[in-house]
Structure 1
Amino acid sequence: MEHIFTLLFYIFIGVTFINVTFYIFYWIFAFAKISNTNRSSLPSVSVIICAKNESANLQKNIPKILSQDYPEFEIILINDASSDDTEDIMEAFKLANTNVQQVNVVNNETFWGNKKYALTLGIKRAQHKHMLFTDADCVPASNHWLQHMASSFSEEKEIVLGYGAYEKIKGSWINKLIRFETLITALQYFSWAKAGRPYMGVGRNLAYTSDVFYEQKGFINHIKIQSGDDDLFVNEASTRKNTAIQFSPESFTISTPKKTFASWITQKRRHISTAVHYKFLEKSLLALFYISQCLFLVGAIALLVNQCNWQWVALIIGVRYLCAWITVGCSAARLQEKDLTYLYPIYEITLVCVQMSIFICNLFTKPTRWK
C-alpha cells in the first residue's frame, strides 16, 4: 500500500506541474494591456440580435443600443418564430427608428428551431460589412460599447472577441458560480487568442466581417449542431492574424443570468456539447487543463487523508493555489469580477464537479433546441 501512495505522490507532482503551467500561461491575459480606442477610423456597423420570445428584454435593452455614441450603425432584429409579442415589439422599433431593420423567420422542416438559420437570414439583410452580435437579454455596459468593439477592426483584424458579463445578484450563490464559470472561460479564450491560437468567442459580444462569414460559407459546416453559432464559427474562421481581443470595461455586455441551478445546467449542457467539435489541438489542451484540475483535487484529498508526505503535499497545494489565485485574481480585476476571487477554491471545486456531471449527462442525451 505504501508503494501505491508513493506512486500517487509522484503522479500528483506531475499533474500539479501541468496545471500550474496552464495558469502561468494564462498570465498572458492576466497582465495584458488594454488597446486604446481609435475613434478616427470607425467603420459603419450592423448590430445583429436574434431573439426568440424576448419581448420584455427587447423593450428594455434596444433603447440602450440605439443610444450608442457612434457615427453610423444599424440594428438588425431577427424574430426567430416567436410565440409572444416579439414581432410586434420589433416592428414598433423599426417604425420609430430609420436605422432598425426587422427579419421575421418562419420555421421550416429542414431548419426547425435552428438559430444559425435565423442568424444567416439576418446577416444577409445587413447593409454593412462589419457586424457586431449580441443577444436580446444583453445590455451594453456603456454607450461606448460600439466604439470599443468596432475600433478593434483593421485591415488585418476581421474577428473581434469581447467579454459578455453577467449581472451581479447580491447574496446569490448560483449567480457567483455562473459568473465564475464565465470568468474562467474568458480567461482561457482571451489567453489563447493573445497567444495566437484563438478558438472561441461568445455570441453575447462578438464581431466579425461579412467577408469572413461568406469565406467560411456561413455556418454550413456545423448547421445541424444546435449550439456553436459563436464558438464553432470562431473555431473554424479565426487565425493568429485575423483575430483581435477587446476587454475594456466599456466594451462589455451584461446579460441576465439564469436564476436557478437547473436552468443554468440546461444552458451549460448545450454549450459544452459543442466543445467536442473544436479543432483537435484546442480540444486536447482544454481537456488536459480540466483533467489536471480533477486529478489535482483527487490526488490532494487522497494524499492528505492518508498523510502521505503531507508536508510536501501541503506545500505543493499552496504553491498551486498561489499561482492560480494570482492568475484568476488579476483576470477578475480586468473583467470587473473582483468579488469572485475571495472564495476562489470553493468555486473551482464546485465548478469541476458540475462540469463532470454535465459531461456524463451529455454522453447519454443531447440538447435539441437553442431555446
Structure 2
Amino acid sequence: MELSFLDGVLFERFEYYLLGILFFCFLIQLYFSLFVHLRLARLRIDPLSENARKPLSVVICARNEAENLKQYLPLVLEQDYPDFEVVVVNDRSWDETEDLLKEFSKQYKHLKIVTVLEGERFIAGKKFAATMGIKAAKNEWLVFTDADCFPASSKWLYGMQQPEQEGIEILLGYSPYLKKRGLLNALIRFETFFTAVNYLSFAIKGMPYMGVGRNMAYKKSLFFKNKGFAAHMHIPSGDDDLFVNAHAHSGNTGIRIHQDAQVWSEPNTSFGAYLRQKKRHFGAGKLYKPKHKFILSAQIIIQFLFYVTLIVLMCFKSTLYLALGVLALSIVIRCFIYPRILNRLNYGDLKWWFPVLDMLLFIFLVFNGILSIFVKKVKWK
C-alpha cells in the first residue's frame, strides 16, 4: 500500500516535470517566433531603385554545369544594369562547359572566363575557384550566384547592387527553390524557408550569422582584408556562410528580399543528394562563432524537447488534453506569423501544410545530425 502510494506520488512528480519542460520549450519557441522571426514578417520592402550607383561584378563558379549554364547564364548576362561584368570560373570541368563559355564570350563581351586546371596548386574545391573569380573581378562590389540558378527578373542586379547606406559591406539575398512534385521537394523548400527566416531575421535583429552563395554580395576589399577563406579553406563548404559568419556584424550587413531581387534555384531530386548537401552545410556550421552555435543548437534542442515531452504527456490520460492544448496554441500562434512569411518568400503553397512540414523537418534535422556524426567525408561536386 505504501509502495503504491509512493509510486503514485513519484508518477505525479514525473508528469509535473514533463509539463514544466513542455511549457519552458513553448515559451522559448514563442520567443523565436514573436521576437525574432516576426521582424521579417513586419519588414517594409522598399521598391528597387533603378539608379545604378556603381559598377559590379557577378561571380559564378561552375563545375560540369554545361546544361545549367546553357539555360541560365544568358539570364544573368542580359541583366538590365548599365555597368557590370560576369566572371565565370570553369573549375576543372570535363563536360562541354569550356566550349559553351567560349561561344557565349563571342556574343557577350562583358563575360570573363577563368579556368582552373586539374591539380592547379594542388588545391581543389569551390573556395579556390571562388578566390580565382574574385581575383579576376575588376569591380569592388561582388555579387555571387551559382550555375544552377537564375534571377527572378531582369532587375536583379539593381536589388543586389551596393546599398546607399554608409558602411554596408555585405548584402544577404534570398534564393528559393523551384516547385516540383513530391514530398521531398516540399521538405527541401520548407527547410530552405526556415533557414532563410532564421538568417534574415537575425540579420534584421543585428546579429547576422550566415548567407547563401546562391544570392549574396560583398566588397572585394573586405575579402582580401580578411585573407579570404584562409581560416576555413580545409572545409569543403562555407564559401558563403562561414565568410559571413566571420565578418558580418550589425553595422556592415543588409538584406534584400524584394521579389525582383531573388534568385531561383534548382532543387535536389533525390534524397541522397539532399543529404550530402546538408552534410556539407552541417560541417561548416561547426566553425560558426560560439554564440551562433549556441543559439542554433538551442533552437533544435528546444524543438526536440517540445515534441518528445508532448508525445510522452499525450500517453497519459491525466495530461492528454493539456498537452493537446499546448500543441494547438503553439500552432495557432505560429500560423499567424509563418504563413505570411511563406507568401513573402515565394512559398505560399506550403502554408496549408505548415504544421505537418514543421514536424517532418524536425525529424529530418535530428536524423541528419545523427548521420553527420558517422559520415565524415564530403566534397563539392
Query: Partner amino acid for 2:67?
Result: A
CA distance in 1, matches of 2:103, 2:164: 32
Q: Is the 8 A contact 2:90 2:114 kept in 1?
A: yes
How far is the alpha carbon of 1:258 from its aligned partner?
0.7
Match of residue 174 from structure 2: 163
1:104-253 to structure 2, matched below 5 A, reads 104-108=115-119, 111-150=122-161, 152=163, 154-169=165-180, 171-253=181-263
Q: Is the 8 A contact 1:153 1:160 kept in 2?
A: no
Match of residue 48 from structure 2: 37
Match of residue 68 from structure 1: 79
List runs of 5+ in structure 1 lacking aligned partners.
none
What is the CA deviation profile of residues 157-182 of structure 1, one whole-angstrom value per residue up to 9, with x for unaligned ones? 1111000111111x321111100000
Q: How many residue pairs get matched?
A: 370
Match of residue 57 from structure 1: 68
- Equivalent of 1:263, from 233, 254, 273? 273
Q: Is the 8 A contact 2:52 2:161 kept in 1?
A: no
Using the TM superposition, name which of 177-186 and 352-361 deviates more.
352-361
Query: Partner amino acid for 2:50?
Result: R
CA distance in 1, matches of 2:299, 2:101: 43
Tell me whether 1:298 sits opposite 2:336 in the alignment.
Answer: no
What is the CA deviation profile of residues 255-299 of structure 1, one whole-angstrom value per residue up to 9, with x for unaligned ones? 111111121111111112211111111110111111111111111
TM-score, scaled relative to structure 1: 0.96
What is the CA deviation profile of residues 110-156 of structure 1, one whole-angstrom value per residue up to 9, with x for unaligned ones? 65431101110110000110010000000001111111111535431
What is the CA deviation profile of residues 83-128 of structure 1, one whole-angstrom value per residue up to 9, with x for unaligned ones? 1111111122122211000000023376543110111011000011
- Equivalent of 1:350, from 344, 348, 360? 360
Match of residue 8 from structure 1: 18
Residue 336 of structure 2 aligns to a residue whose secondary structure is helix
CA distance in 2, matches of 1:153, 1:56: 37
How far is the alpha carbon of 1:45 from its aligned partner?
0.9
Match of residue 99 from structure 2: 88
Query: Partner amino acid for 1:86?
Result: T
153 and 370 in structure 1: CA distance in 2 versus 1, 3 angstrom threshold: farther
Tell me whether 1:307 sits opposite 2:317 in the alignment.
Answer: yes
What is the CA deviation profile of residues 40-66 of structure 1, one whole-angstrom value per residue up to 9, with x for unaligned ones? 352111000000000000011111111
Taking only aligned residues, the RMSD between alpha carbons, in angstroms, comes to 1.4
Q: Is the 8 A contact 2:279 2:378 kept in 1?
A: no
Q: Give the number of the structure whose alpha-carbon radius of gyration is greater.
A: 2
Query: Partner amino acid for 2:235?
Result: I
CA distance in 2, matches of 1:109, 1:139: 29
Residue 78 of structure 1 aligns to a residue whose secondary structure is strand
Q: Is the 8 A contact 1:58 1:137 kept in 2?
A: yes
How far is the alpha carbon of 1:308 from its aligned partner?
3.5
